A and B are shown apart, each in its own frame.
Chain A
Amino acid sequence: MSNALSILRISNLKKSYGKNTILHGATLSLHQGEIIVLIGPSGGGKSTLLQCINCLAMPEEGEIFLHDNRVDLQSAGELNELRQKVGMIFQDFNLFDHLTAVDNITVALRKVKKMSKKDALCRARRELDQVGLSDKASLYPAQLSGGQKQRVAIARALAMDPEVLLLDEPTSALDPELVGEVISVIKQLAGNGMTMIMATHQMSLISTLADRILFMENGSIVEQGTPQELLSSDMVSKTRGFCERLNEISPEDL
């Protein structure tokens, strides 16, 4: 069932920690420009699934295909290649604390992409500009607000020219007044046609960006479909119940 347009495909990924199976075989495929939103209760395995996709958590079973080429998960070289093509944005940013905003970006360009110092700097400045932070280039993470940190993290991931971006609750560690600036950067990415898989409980992202919603519970994808299918008022779905509860918490996000 290989789709010519499939950019990333995972098949039957399984992950357990000790005796606990956290991911019971996840399968999904992602087309160019598609945006998949992962939702579900805490502990449902969303972060684990995202981390298995770029093997930050090594899945015990299953396969990953990039452009229908199977990635050999045992090969360090192929893994590094996969990780360069599949960028990741973390809930708590994970900026390198000892480097300035601009060096957070150049270090990866220089060490991983082997770019020259000058080219790397030029590229980094362009990416910072994109997220509206050119004036913060020489500040250290400790000197940035949460929203600014997350925007630097996004710039850093984009500088690697990823084909897919994985976002793990990119706004949930932020103060409410900072959420907006990150959301607008993500919307801008979506507008540019970036392919994404995003775990989020931000209704404004789910309702405006999602091409497909996956509902995860107890380590399995239990429902999936377009927002229209899952959220329409004549449909009884876990997704709809869940989103209604999200709305009760923060109705202004709709």
Chain B
Amino acid sequence: MELSPFYQELLPSLNRGLIMTIALIVPSALGGVFIGIVAGTLRAYGNRITRSIGNFYAALFRGTPLVVQLFVLYFGLPNIGLYLSPYMAAVIGFILCSGAYQSEYIRGALLSIKRGQYHGAQALGFSFFQTIFWIIIPQAVRKAIHGCGNEIIYLIKYSSLAYIVTVMELTGEGKTIATEYFRFTEVFMIIGLYYLALVSCAVFILKRIENKLYIPGFGYNR
């Protein structure tokens, strides 16, 4: 069966866009989790100064639209002599935005660990850092994982905003073809299926990680 010219053009472009989307998501998700852990820990346990810095960061990036953040990074920074490629601007924007949300999940998980866990470690002679590292963080990770996974799934979908700083990812590629052939409904339904597939993959991987980290008493019962 021969594909129509429309599909012959659409599918390769979408596949190209898919690869770009994945190239955006993977570093953004990892970077977001990393920044989230650092900022979340500072916000939960830091001194007054680091706590204020962390809170300010989270307030700024959760309080402004991602579109605005991307515009500032891509169109605003050149005014002060900083030029970012579209791809870099998008990834940095996603990391900073995602990290702000992740820090909230991490902070909540850290603060939800019962004080007794901390006391138990201190009473055995653990130092402050040993307590945080060996006792608090392993528990917090297990409590934060559902929220962090949710944020990553959300990130997959808002990665489509990279298009507005001219990164040709899934949505951007699709829109070009849709405009060319004036067949918006079909194109965007297919794009929707691509995102659905991506999210399903992410859900599968997150589930695997959850199972690997599963400990009786944390989260659901198997």
Indicate whether A54 reaches chain B with its CB closer than 8 angstroms. yes
Encoded as 1 (CB less than 8 Å from any B CB) or 0, chain A from 45 to 80 comes to 000000000101000000000000000000010001
Which residues in B have their C-beta under 8 angstroms from that of A92?
116
Encoded as 1 (CB less than 8 Å from any A CB) or 0, chain B from 87 to 107 comes to 000000000000000000000
Total A-B pairs in contact (CB under 8 Å)? 75
Which residues in B have their C-beta under 8 angstroms from that of A215?
none
B123 adjacent to A56 (CB under 8 Å): yes
Indicate whether A19 reaches chain B with its CB closer than 8 angstroms. no
Indicate whether B135 reaches chain A with its CB closer than 8 angstroms. yes
A94 adjacent to B125 (CB under 8 Å): no
**Smallest distance from the beta carbon of A174 to chain B beta carbons, Å?**
16
A83 adjacent to B215 (CB under 8 Å): no
A90 adjacent to B119 (CB under 8 Å): yes
Indicate whether A112 reaches chain B with its CB closer than 8 angstroms. yes
The listed residue with most B CB atoms (<10 A of its CB), out of A80, A88, A97, A140, is A97
Q: Which residue of A lies closest to B121 (CB)?
A: A96
The one of B123, B125, B139 that contacts A97, using a Cβ cutoff of 8 Å: B139
Q: Which residue of B lies closest to A82 (CB)?
A: B125
Given contacts A56-B123, A87-B123, A141-B217, contact A107 B134 (CB under 8 A): yes
Give the contacts of A119-148 with B (CB-CB under 8 A): 140-143
Binding site for A on B (CB under 8 A): 116-117, 119-128, 130, 134-135, 138-139, 142, 215-218
Besides A108-B125, A112-B130, 8 other CB < 8 A contacts?
A56-B119, A87-B123, A88-B123, A94-B119, A96-B117, A96-B135, A96-B139, A111-B130
